[in-house]
Chain A
Amino acid sequence: MTKKKLMGTTASFEGTERYYLNEELRSIVNMALAMEKPLLLTGEPGTGKTQLAFEIARDLKMELIELRAKSTIKGEEVCYVQDTVLRLNDARFGTGDTGRDVSRFFDYVVWGPIGRAFRADKKVVLLLDEIDKTESDVQDNLLDVLEECQFAIREVNQMVKAANKPVIIITSNAKRELSDPFLRRCFCHHIPFPSVDEMKKIVDLHFPELDLNFLETALTVFYELREKGFEKPPATSEFLNWLEALKIDRPESLEADQLPYIGTLLKRTNDILQYRQKKPNPPRRMGW
């Protein structure tokens, strides 16, 4: 089967003008779409994991429903919560003219992102951002929900099933290890840090007017800086911010050890101190 034919069968993702998408990532997204599997994206901060979900939604003209994971999330509330305090209050003081009825359970349900995605009339993109921030039991609870695209409302023993399976994009910064069963249910892709050529294309999308010679120098300096073993090496977004700063106040030349606006590239105090002191990092070796 040729590629063209394949693309005809399902909605496919081609990338948008604001976001640089390499061929590999594009194919991966389309494979996940075709197989209707959640796509788990890992990788350094600033490699565009979250952005990708937004771009998929834009490109496929679907609504994006986002869950920003927090460590306090317990599990069910990503599907729904029952506003018990309101219900208790209504039971005690009456519903007044709100139109709620204390005996009607669904009057007190607040849908979470997953609940909204499953109940949507059209196919949506569901983004579970930074899933690794949640506890592992929360992830385990989500497993079946995501796999079957349905969840139970415990209180009334009723299933909510997605009429249109959402496109599920999950991101993780690997703050905590995800469990094996969770990984098994996803297509996983680790986005490597962009190569110099890819970075050029990314920069071009943001600063199309940038002088090429200047960009070459800036890229060299940036990639050298990344190799120096800082606690938090500068990533794409830092680089773009730095270029933005340099656009306003363009220096004559860039010296690797006297970079202007170093604070946009290095965020940790230790890293900045280390940079200022120019202490060379000893090479790391094991077993030789």
Chain B
Amino acid sequence: MSLKYVVEFYQGIKKGLAYDLDSLFLYAKLVFIKRVEDADNFERAFAFHFYGIDIPAVKEGDPELLYTQQFRDWLKEAIDKGELPKHPQWELGLEELTRRFWDTLKKQMEAHHGGSKWIGTGGSSPFGHSGQATKGIRMYGESQNRSAVKVIGQRRYVDYSSSNSLKGDNIRQALSLMKNMLPAGAYSQLDVDETIRKTARNGGEIELIFSREVLDKIKVVLLLDNGGSSMMPWVDLCRLLFSKMKDRFREFTPYYFHNSIYGNLYKDPQRLNPLPTDKLLLLSPETRVFIVGDASMAPEELYRPKGSIYMDANDDEESSLVWLTRLKNRFSHLVWLNPIAEHEWDITYGNWTIQKISQIIHMEDLSLKGIKKAVEYLANR
């Protein structure tokens, strides 16, 4: 938020751009919201302030709903009022409970939509924010615009919210922050100064001098943990990341491993075609390396020589920790992306190895925010 926005906002009001609540909604959004990631938050804030409806940040159908303050408040109040039984999760089941929550919310939004009515529920809100919107804003008749509250109800931007998990669109955005331009292309740019200098030296006979074009020459390696049941739930998410990285970078190579990295990486997802990790370590130190894995394993897989969970493995004479340290020392642009959400790192099954690995390699989670932080970390090195 900058002062400029506020000034601009008032200029627009003066010009009569916000003549009712719905146009105010559109205009304020245009002035204040510049990124689609923020649009859902804006719409929720608008609903809260002007309609007294507190919408949780999650999408309908997202099980994270159960952790939101809005859901808890609603549950508490509904139980207190006797609308729900004392132990609703046992008697109704979570699915039924979340359905009722969204139904109540929709009814509330519905009540605010269309017609001319005074806004300000003053106590009837089951979300416990009575009084917030008692200012009494009058909506003048039927608006030509789509009613703001109806638009908000559609939650069209919730998928772009940065707290949300990844979707195709937003990963590419995050990855695009990373670039590295170097003169590398063909000699196709006319260097005017040099041409004039040479031409003058040549006694006026024109000599054209060309210089190299500046190109994006970033090299990216992705090391992907694709084995074991602990990675199973994340396969789809990793596949998505993988496809987006492929379109973004000119040079992009994926390798695979299981649980942790030892003497061999694999070129194929079936892990049949090995590449000695030593070879990877010969790549330019400028290479950007992403490791994607849950970092969850038994401590000995990380710490002990012969630690690989495969009995017949012959590449684990040295412990995985040694190999990870070598990667770290070779590549200054190295980051570990963990599909387990950051706030669960210290409570999940692999908390110990996650902690140890993140002491060696910078770790972020595989959310949009995590990827952005990872990319910023890489860019600042």
Contacts and interface: CB of A to CB of B under 8 A. Distances in A.
Contacts of A285: 63, 165, 233
Interface of B: 2, 4, 8, 11-12, 15-17, 19, 23, 26-27, 30-31, 33-36, 39, 63-64, 144-146, 151, 154, 156-157, 160, 165-166, 168-169, 172-174, 176-177, 179, 181, 190, 192, 195-196, 199, 204-206, 208, 213, 233, 235-237, 240, 243, 339-341, 344, 366-367
Given A23-B146, A84-B195, 9 more contacts: A24-B26, A24-B146, A92-B206, A177-B177, A183-B34, A188-B33, A231-B168, A284-B236, A286-B166
A177 B240 CA distance: 19
Contacts, number: 116
A262 interface: no
Contact of B36 (A176, A184, A190, A287): A190
23 contacts: A5-B16, A27-B23, A27-B26, A32-B30, A34-B12, A34-B17, A35-B17, A42-B36, A44-B169, A88-B199, A89-B206, A135-B181, A177-B173, A177-B176, A188-B36, A190-B36, A190-B157, A190-B160, A195-B154, A231-B243, A282-B236, A284-B236, A287-B165
A1 B16 contact: yes
A35 B173 contact: no
A136 B27 CA distance: 27
A22 interface: yes
A73 interface: no
Nearest to B20: A3
Interface residues of A, number: 46
Given A84-B192, A284-B237, A34 B344 contact: no
A112 to B, nearest CB: 17
B311 to A, nearest CB: 30
B12 A88 contact: no
B19 A35 contact: no
A286 B15 contact: no
A34 B16 CA distance: 10
A180 B35 CA distance: 9
B338 to A, nearest CB: 11
A146 B368 CA distance: 31
A192 B156 contact: yes
A15 B363 CA distance: 50
Contacts of B16: 1, 5-6
A68 B146 CA distance: 33
Nearest to A190: B36
